[in-house]
Homo-oligomer: A and B are copies of this chain.
Amino acid sequence: MAVVPNTSFKEQLMQSIGPEVAKIEHAMRLDFQETTAGADPLLTDVLEYGIFNGGKRLRPLLVVLAARLCGHKNPEKNNESIHQLAIAFEYIHGASLFHDDVIDRADMRRGKPTVNNQFGVIAAILGGDFLLSRSMFLIGTHGGNEALQIFCQATNGMIDGEFLQLRNAMNCNLSEEDYYAVVTGKTALLIAATCEIGALAGGASVMEQKALAEYGISLGTAFQIIDDLLDYQGDPAQTGKAVGNDFQEGKMTLPVILVLAAANTKDTKRLLFLFENENARQSGLDEALQLIEKYDGFGKSRSVAESIVTKALSGLTIFQEKSCLPVLEVFKVLAQYVLSRKK
């Protein structure tokens, strides 16, 4: 798991994490075969389509890394069953995508038809339920009660975040605080849970567990800020979705919120008008982009994400033993990846 110098960023990342990602994929395959043995063939097709989709496996990877980071003193806890625990996070992530795409009536994800588009809304709802149920089973079985408690807090937070977003949908006076509350619920709590449950499995001290949970909250928040930036600035060929989805839905994200706080009265009024009026939005994307650029909304958002990632990494300096350093390097590379990702 050592980081090899003098290679490109992507090569470096893959050499660090490639073998672990392969083990995660393998564990998912085995578990998928076991859990769908005897299941309805349509359910099997839906799950296969929805979860073996070239996803980045970031969440399970964080579980494994956190366990490795804490488990250096407890080699007996650092065994392969960690992958069983880790894949639960890919399942719950899948469940949330299945249901979110139904809720958002999304047609495409990662350049492919969504599950609801390919198999229908019913299959997407039920398939999501199946993944949610299986993820809880894996956490309870391989992580015990404390892990199940952390996991359920995260899933409740995800649902809570969706409700908050639902209530905020038509609110164009969203504060930065409101934005972070949604981001914490929707994304960061689950990323924090990967780190915290991995830490638990690795036999972490309370301080180590807390440090990793905080790293996860920060990394997850930065991840979502970049996600929201990619919505405006991403290359559709790489992200697999059209530019300006959030704008078309009138959804306020950080670049817009920062601009509204900084702009003069005229520009504030105009940007709000664009967000508040569905008709104006249909042809207003270019104008909105210009207004956001005028006040450097994208640059400011990226700076926020960068400072959050710096904070995330600084919390990991408690892992000072020499045996921790190779894994710590991977955490750093991952944090850089979150900032530099294009999709």
Contacts and interface: CB of A to CB of B under 8 A. Distances in A.
Interface of A: 35, 39-40, 42-43, 95, 99, 102-103, 121-123, 125-126, 128-130, 132-134, 136-137, 139-141, 145, 148-149, 152, 155-156, 159-160, 162-164, 166-167
A159 B129 contact: yes
A32 B338 CA distance: 37
A122 B125 CA distance: 11
Given A99-B129, A160-B39, A137 B136 contact: yes
B166 A123 contact: yes
A145 B156 contact: no
A126 B145 CA distance: 24
Of the candidates A39, A129, A162, A164, the one having the most CB atoms from chain B within 10 angstroms of its own CB is A129
A36 B81 CA distance: 33
How many identical subunits does the complex contain? Answer: 2
Given A133-B132, A133-B136, A148-B140, A39 B125 contact: no
Nearest to A127: B159
Given A122-B103, A123-B166, A140 B133 contact: no
Given A39-B156, A167-B40, A141 B132 contact: no
B136 A145 contact: no
Contacts of A149: 137, 141
Given A103-B126, A137-B152, A139-B140, 7 more contacts: A39-B160, A40-B160, A40-B164, A99-B126, A129-B129, A133-B159, A136-B152
User: Interface on chain A toward B: helix, strand, loop, or mixed SS?
Assistant: helix
A265 to B, nearest CB: 33
Contacts of A162: 122, 126
A140 B146 CA distance: 10
Given A35-B156, A99-B125, A125-B103, A42 B163 contact: yes
A127 B102 CA distance: 14
Contacts of A145: 140-141
Contacts of A139: 140
A160 B129 CA distance: 11
A162 to B, nearest CB: 5
Contacts of A155: 129, 133
Contacts of A141: 145, 148-149
B122 A166 contact: yes
A236 to B, nearest CB: 26
